[in-house]
Chains A and B, each alone.
Chain A
Amino acid sequence: MKKVLIVARPEGASGLTWANKINLETGFKSLAEDVNEVAKAVREMGFTPITFTPEAAFHIYNWLHVPYLDKDIKQISAKDVYQQISDIYAVVLVGMTAKAGTLNAFMDSTYNLVAWHDYYLNGQLMGEIGMYKNYFANFNVPIIFASGDVAACAEAEKELVGIKTVAVKKAKNRSVASYIQGSKEKLYSVCLEALKNPIKVSEKPTFPLTKKIVLNRTEFCADSVRWFPDGVNRIDGRTIEYELNELKYFTDLV
């Protein structure tokens, strides 16, 4: 049976309206509820829901929603995603945030809330949604649905033309948002619609793929260089660049 991969991030969960509550039960329970809603639609269309939450800042908290997921939703790793990619019919993004530096966005960030200032792939500035777009396009898997705050949905609609989105909250500022009444209930219906009429897969990225990360401080950059494999090029005090000749795991992009 074909699978639908639900990429889940806590920052954009419907019930997380205060940034400082991200590590509390409110945040991760809410994310699980959003994933469960979307999974209903996935099951109805005859697919198996699986979920992936990438590691990032505060990564130890990123999986605390797993015990609250429906029992049949399996949490998989980046390695599993690659190994199962041919079984994945489509990807849905739940709990997304707009890219770092977006005005009127809740917890705007690109992958890492603290350390990353900007992220480029082949010279194009993008956020996490753009990273997913490039990654899954490489394997011919379409991203058909996204949820998050208003700014994240607007970014998703710009990156993936025709994608169905549900804005679950609206930012008052980076740290506070207000929940949009009735949006949680729409997660199921809009995702169902997206599965019935999926958009085409995006254009594949061209290789070699050059990823460039601008970090907020030089010490973050120096620390990153320690952990990256050979071949990372430090452009300046806060910028590193790395060339990829192929894409396997999502973590290759970070």
Chain B
Amino acid sequence: MKQQTEFSENIAVQEGAGDMHASCVCAGFPSPADDYVEEALDLNRLLVHNAPATFFLRVKGDSMKGAGIHTDDILVVDRSVTPKHNSIIVAVLNGTLTVKRLWKKGNRIVLLAENPAHRPVDVTCMEEFEVWGVATSVIHSLRVNK
């Protein structure tokens, strides 16, 4: 059975209910926590640093299982991050999007999988190779059944 990670929208942020939960004034007594109230933890802030450049992709296949990236996971991809040696990137290879680890030394560029069944791909001279974005996080659901 296909498993997908579903999230409902972050209503709190959108409706401005990042309003702090102040104590109810009608009770009469101020709460000792009033001076220390902080915003609730927000996954958007944690995972998305540059919203216009951040996209979510659905992983298919297990070519990167060694890196903890599995089928049906959601990959958080930031197109504004500069790819470096050892980054996990989303690349365009022969017209399709693929997620691989970037190996880059000197002039050579190789795409490495994290699964012994997949061979490295040397893209140094490939015209059809392009970096689409850098994967910054992966979201993996632990639910057993949908």
Q: Do A and B bind each other?
A: no
* Residues in A lying within 8 Å of B, measured CB to CB: none
Q: Which residues of B contact A (CB under 8 A)?
A: none
